[in-house]
Structure 1
Amino acid sequence: MKKTIALFLAMLMVFSIPLAFAENETTEEPEEDTDSAVTVIPADEEPADEEPVDEEPAEEEEETEDEEETEEVEEEEEVEETEDEEETEEEVEEETDEGVNETEEETEEEEETIEVPEEVTEEAGVTPDSILWPFERIIEKIDMKLTLGKSAKAKKGLAHARERLMEVQAMIAAKRMGAAVEAQEEYDEIMEEVEENVEELGDGDEIEELEDEVEIEQAIAENEELVEQVSNLKLKFKGLTPEQEAQVNEIVSSLGDSTSKAEVQVKVKKNKTKIKIKAKEGLTDEEVENIASQIESAVSAGKKAHIVLPGRGKGKGKKGTVEADEVEEAEEEEEEDETEEDEVDEVDEDEEDEEDKGKGKSNKDKGNKGKGNSKNNDEEEEEEPEE
Structure 2
Amino acid sequence: MQRRVVTAVLAAAALLVTAGCSSGDGGAPDDGKSAFPGLGSSTPAPSSSGSPTEKAPPAKGSVKVVRTVAEGLKTPWGLAPLPEGGLLVSSRDAGTIVRVDEKTGRKTELGEVPGVAPAGEGGLLGIALSPDYASDHMVYAYFTTASDNRIVRMLYDAKKPPGEQLGAPDTVFKGIPKGVIHNGGRIAFGPDKMLYAGAGETGDRGQAQDKKALGGKILRMTPDGDPAPGNPFGDSVVYSYGHRNVQGLAWDDKQRLWASEFGQDTWDELNQIKPGDNYGWPVVEGRGGDAKYHDPVAQWHTDDASPSGIAYAEGSIWMAGLKGERLWRIPLSGTKASAAPESFLKGEYGRLRTVVSAGGDKLWLTTSETDGRGSPAKGDDKILELKVS
When the two structures are superposed, what TM-score results if normalisation uses the length of structure 2? 0.19
The one of the two structures with greater contact order (alpha-carbon pairs below 8 A, sep at least 6) is 2
Which structure shows the higher strand fraction?
2
Which structure shows the higher helix fraction?
1
Q: Which has the larger radius of gyration?
A: 1
